[in-house]
Amino acid sequence: MRIIGYIEHPTYMVTVFQMDDKFSVKFEKNLLEQTYKYRGGPHMEGIKDVQRIIDAAFVKRVDNIFETMENTRLDSLKVEDGVDEFDEIV
């Protein structure tokens, strides 16, 4: 797998990879990432074709998924109310 390019975005690091006839688009934000994979073909031959499909509607859906992922991650870190993490030392 090799990096064939980047897609500029103000919020995300977007990296495009190619391996044989497959393309992967990875979105990174803080400690989270999403990867979308595409099979190559007549309508998916290179970085220009990948850039074409990453439009505003696509990025909006990525935003929503990142928001859900972040909420899930934060919820997993919450300590239940009334439960102390450590025993009280007197």
Q: Is the pLDDT of residue 86 over 90?
A: no
Return the pLDDT at 22: 95
First to last CA, the chain: 58
For residues 64 and 1, give the distance between their C-alpha atoms in angstroms, rounded to a whole number.
Answer: 28
For residue range 51-73, list pLDDT tens digits in order.
Answer: 999 999 999 999 999 999 999 99
Average pLDDT, the chain: 91
pLDDT band with cut points at 50, 70 and 90 for residue 79: low
Query: CB–CB of 16/6 below 8 Å?
Result: yes
**Is 81 a residue whose pLDDT tops 70?**
no
> pTM for the complete prediction?
0.81
